[in-house]
Amino acid sequence: MANKLLDEIKWNDQGLICAVVQDKFSLRILMVAWMNAEALACTVQSGFAHYYSRSRRKLWMKGEQSGHRQKVFEIRLDCDGDAIVLLVEQQGGIACHTGRQSCFYRVFQHQQWQITDSVLKSEREIYSRHSDE
């Protein structure tokens, strides 16, 4: 299975692929993250989204600290093979570490960035016992 999963992917110079994460129900884009081969294989095997943290240089499962896991229903590879889309059910309704539904909560309007989504849960509440995702 690993070869069939990984063969058509065009990894970047760091061995990563961009993953766009979309809500299964609303179809809203929740976040963008990076995956390496191990993260993609763990995602397929477990059914929950795993990513590669470039800043921490390690594999991580979304929600391992916050509890806001992402159950994966579908994985799509784009025509060039250099980006994927994960169709997920966002557990807890929060994908962003800021406590919002989506990481894309700012819209450029009237020549400035406007915050359009409210905080559902404070970062302090989410990560009071844990380090940031």
Domains delineated in the chain: 2-126 (3.10.20.810)
- CB-hemisphere CA count at 13 Å for 18? 8
What is the per-residue pLDDT across 77-116, written as a single tens digit (0 to 9) for each?
999 999 999 999 999 999 999 999 999 999 999 999 999 9
pTM for this structure? 0.88
Q: Which helix (H) or strand (E) holds 95?
A: none
- Please compute the mean of the pLDDT values over residues 46-59 and round it to a whole number: 97
pLDDT bin (cut points 50, 70, 90) of residue 126 is: confident
pLDDT bin (cut points 50, 70, 90) of residue 6 is: confident
Q: How many other C-beta atoms are found inside a 10 Å radius of the C-beta of residue 132?
A: 11
pLDDT given at position 131: 47
Percent of the chain residues past pLDDT 90, beyond the cut: 86
